[in-house]
Chains A and B, each alone.
Chain A
Amino acid sequence: MFKKFSFEDISAQNQVKASVQRKIRQSIADEYPGLEPLLDDILPKKAPLIVTKCQNHLNLVVVNNVPLFFNIRDGPYMPTLRLLHQYPDVMKKFQVDRGAIKFVLSGANIMCPGLTSPGGALDEEVSGETPVAIMAEGKQHALAIGFTKISAKDIKTINKGIAVDNMHYLNDGLWKMERFE
């Protein structure tokens, strides 16, 4: 999704009102209960929260010139990979096998066989349309962040087609911008 993302894709940067800031905080707290005690550290109430609007209905939540979360259209907020590396346990994890790693790292979506083959792991409780962290077989850190298309149970039974949309992966445009101007 961020395959080509650069400084010029940003169309607007606005500091949001406190009410909007509270809403964003609330939705992030709902989505990631594990992040609640840390919410004050990463999204302080007093700090100016800037929402950056980019092409394709993409919003970036930026604090202190560091992008922390992003969301599309009004969907759930997803953390950037840098944030996820710091707090790996806030999201559910799927694991893909080795062969899929290089495809995911060039932006490909994750297909069911990559998760159901030996080497891949699924978290049974995950339902469709949720953000998940994608780990790689044999690696300790997250490889990408995806949005499930179908639930984990369906992935296991149907075992065909796209399982998870690849939203943000290592070394993509958003990864490369760890700091704004």
Chain B
Amino acid sequence: MAEKPQAVRVLYCGVCSLPAEYCEFGPDFEKCKPWLRVHVPDLYPDLLKGEFAFVLFFLPSSLLIHPSIDVYSFLEAADADKAAQQLQSMTISGSGDAGTAPSGSTSASKQDEVKRLPGGKIKKKEKQEVVIEKIVRNKRKCVTVVKGLELFGVKLSDASKKLGKKFATGASVVKGPTEKEQIDVQGDISYDIVEFITDTWPDVPETAIFFIEDGRKVPAA
């Protein structure tokens, strides 16, 4: 029994953030495959060897004869779908040949990787939209909640004052369970609210306003 168990360093896939062996259950195995090939080629040998037969068809004869390519490892790396593309990129990394066309493809795939990074990390989604919700307070009375105005650079205290004045009802700024704040306006003003928002604050496009009706609805309707 070890006196102090050492921390095991786990290799997490760069694409799906799961431990490398679980990539096949991850959201997108195809995207993980190139990463896996580079970092842990021995984990999925059967998968890659299965494409051996397909790849043979695509192999240009010149590459077969090329002395500096280790054909076996090269084939191991090739994927049936993008066989030609992968072949060319592998020659570049494998043998150091300068290829003109494939360099474009590798940079494109790198860009894809960069975009995919949020797969495992915290995302701070800040979609600029205004959400309007109606909450029934008593049987007759309800409150219209406007969320998301601050994303458009609108000062909420000013906004609530204007709303209250315009509709001759009470309006206040309320804090939600987290940092988010919302404006509560007494009464049901969902009909006029869209027009009012777009008139007073021209920055807010009509398309960015959503009503909540068991799922979001696009406004101007």
Contact = CB atoms under 8 A, between A and B. Distances in A.
Interface of A: 7-8, 10-11, 34, 37-38, 85-90, 101-102, 105, 136, 139-141, 143, 170-171, 175-181
A7 B178 contact: yes
A179 B21 contact: no
Interface string B203-219: 00000000000000000
B65 interface: no
B19 interface: yes
A38 B21 contact: no
A38 B5 contact: yes
B122 A177 contact: yes
A85 B7 CA distance: 8
A86 B8 contact: yes
B27 A171 contact: yes
Given A7-B178, A141-B10, A176-B120, A105 B25 contact: yes
Interface in B1-27: 3-5, 7-10, 16-19, 21-22, 25-27
The 9 closest A-B pairs by CB, nearest first: A86-B7, A141-B19, A85-B10, A37-B4, A139-B21, A105-B25, A177-B122, A170-B18, A11-B177
B contact residues, range: 20 to 34
Given A139-B22, A141-B21, A8 B8 contact: no
Contacts of B124: 7
29 contacts: A7-B122, A7-B178, A8-B178, A10-B178, A34-B5, A37-B3, A38-B4, A38-B5, A85-B10, A85-B19, A86-B8, A86-B9, A86-B10, A88-B8, A89-B5, A90-B5, A139-B22, A140-B19, A141-B10, A141-B19, A141-B21, A143-B22, A170-B19, A171-B17, A171-B27, A176-B120, A176-B121, A176-B122, A179-B121
A102 B25 contact: yes
B5 A87 contact: yes
A178 B123 CA distance: 11
Nearest to A105: B25
Contacts, number: 66
Given A171-B16, A171-B18, A180-B122, 9 more contacts: A37-B3, A85-B10, A87-B7, A88-B8, A89-B5, A141-B21, A170-B22, A178-B121, A181-B122
Nearest to B178: A8
Contacts of A171: 16-18, 26-27
Interface of B: 3-5, 7-10, 16-19, 21-22, 25-27, 120-122, 124, 177-178, 180
A86 B12 CA distance: 12
Contacts of A140: 19, 21
Nearest to B118: A176
A106 to B, nearest CB: 9
Nearest to B9: A86
Nearest to A177: B122
Nearest to A139: B21
Contacts of A175: 17, 120
A16 B8 CA distance: 29
A40 B10 CA distance: 21
Contacts of B4: 37-38
Contacts of A34: 5
Contacts of B120: 175-176, 178
Nearest to A106: B25
